[in-house]
A and B are shown apart, each in its own frame.
Chain A
Amino acid sequence: MSGDRGSQTPVLKLVAGGERIDVSTSPPNRDLDWAILMARAQDGDGAAYQRLLQEITPYLRSLAARRHRSADDIEDAVQDILLTIHSIRHTYDPTRPFGPWLATIGERRSIDRLRRRSRHQRRETPLQPEHEAVADVGVDMEGKSNRRELERAISDLPPAQQMAIELLKLKEMSLKDAASASGMSINSLKVNTHRALKNLRKILLGRNEL
């Protein structure tokens, strides 16, 4: 116990070796290492403590991953467990196996966190589009009217130019695909697109000026 700090290692080996069968979640040697590291940490050995926390973090992460889904939640849970371990590290008895002590803290904190989350969620409602107090009317109407105006302008173009704009700009096909779909040559597609854009600019600007 706390009296025989100098001869701690052999004592730990004997006792932890006898009881470690029920530690299903961590291999026996690791459990023994962790017990020794924790015993040193209780005596104020910061380096041993840092090594211990670093080594148990992946295990805690897998423990938390059983209860939580998002990576942020898992990381939050791991940190919560680490802080809890820190605040009650004096409750660990080095003559007993470390695994069950750690596993209970991990389990309890994860479950507690889950409960707290579900309590929060029960009070919250996800924000839906119908919760918007002001409908987003203006922008949408403008978009629609612009679209209609453009469609009308395109329909005023000669058929070859209409086809070129339709395939290359609205459907965003490649020149090669457009050529095989329309039966026009790549060159004439280019020329027609160029002319169509020029005409459209003229039509639309002319209308706006009216």
Chain B
Amino acid sequence: MIKTPDLIASLSTNLTPVRRLRPPLMRAFGWLLLAAMVLTLLAVAQGIRPDLAQRLRDPAFASCMAASALTGILAAVAAFLVSLPDRSRLWLMLPLPSLILWLSNIGYQCLADWVSIGPEGIGMGEAARCFATLVLTSLPLSLALLVMLRYAAPLRPTAVTIMGSLAVAAITATALSFFHTMDATVMILMWNIGTAVIFVGFAGTFGRTIFRWVTPRVDAPH
């Protein structure tokens, strides 16, 4: 084992200047800007669903969308705040109210639609396009967030990963309800909850290992 004074000496010789992180709110805003960009590109590529204006007049649909978008924004802010060592963990509660609103709306729709329509309306083509939207939205956003928050690995990996995944899942869900008409089918509801559960579940199980491959190695002083 190297002696502590020797370690300190080796760390402080050849010390390179570092660029301080920008304030967490600004960084969260940057990431949300990227999310908005991804959504716009998808809108250009796939086209917004034709009945969006009409659906937005439905209070259940509108509040569900607003709640999922708000959950995405607040969870991103919380992730950036909690990733810093000197901020309170209580910020994790920030997206909770909108999350509850979002999930309770999905639950209600799910029940209502189960009774009235049934699962036979799902076409394979639509499901595949739905999946494409899902991957196209969540993959770049997850990777960007992973790189932006990599320094949190030795501190609060699980909390930060869960918050980040929630942000990605909520924004993906918002994107899905923008682009796909089959919000009344069981399929999209499964996606909506499924993305959130899969992301959060994976994050909870692999929270530590997810960060590891982008983390600067802690045990190698230079």
Q: In this complex, which of B2, B14, B17, B85 has the most chain A Cβ atoms within 10 angstroms of its Cβ? A: B85
Shortest Cβ distance from B40 into chain A, in angstroms?
A: 31
Mask: chain A, 121-138; 1 = CB below 8 Å from B; 0 = not: 000000000000000000
Q: Which of B5-13, B61-69, B95-103, B180-188 binds A?
A: B5-13
Q: Which of A9-17, A86-94, A182-190 binds B?
A: A86-94
Shortest Cβ distance from B10 into chain A, in angstroms?
A: 10
Give the A interface residue count (CB, 8 A): 41
Kindly report which residue of chain A lies nearest to residue B17, judged by CB atoms.
A44
A1 touches B86 (CB 8 A): no
Instruction: Report how far A103 CA is from B15 CA in the complex, Å.
Output: 23
Shortest Cβ distance from A45 into chain B, in angstroms?
A: 7
Instruction: Report how far A207 CA is from B2 CA in the complex, Å.
Output: 59
A75-B1 contact given A86-B11, A91-B151, CB 8 Å threshold? yes
Contacts of A53 in B (CB 8 A): 8, 11-12
Kindly report which residue of chain B lies nearest to residue A78, judged by CB atoms.
B4
A57-B4 contact given A84-B218, A91-B85, CB 8 Å threshold? yes
Contacts of A47 in B (CB 8 A): 12
Contacts of B221 in A (CB 8 A): 83, 86
A177 interfacial contact with B, CB 8 Å: no
Kindly report which residue of chain A lies nearest to residue B222, judged by CB atoms.
A86
Contacts of B1 in A (CB 8 A): 72, 75-76, 79
B151 touches A90 (CB 8 A): yes
Q: Which of A44, A96, A101, A109 contacts B154 (CB 8 A)?
A: A109
Question: What are the 3 tightest A-B residue pairs by CB atom distance, in nearest-first order?
Answer: A44-B17, A50-B12, A104-B85
Q: A46-B15, A53-B12, A83-B219 are in contact. List 16 more A-B contacts (CB 8 A).
A: A1-B20, A46-B14, A50-B9, A53-B8, A53-B11, A54-B8, A79-B2, A82-B8, A82-B11, A83-B11, A87-B217, A87-B218, A90-B19, A93-B21, A104-B85, A108-B85
Q: Which residues of B line the A interface, CB within 8 A?
A: 1-2, 4-5, 7-9, 11-21, 23, 84-86, 151, 154-156, 216-219, 221
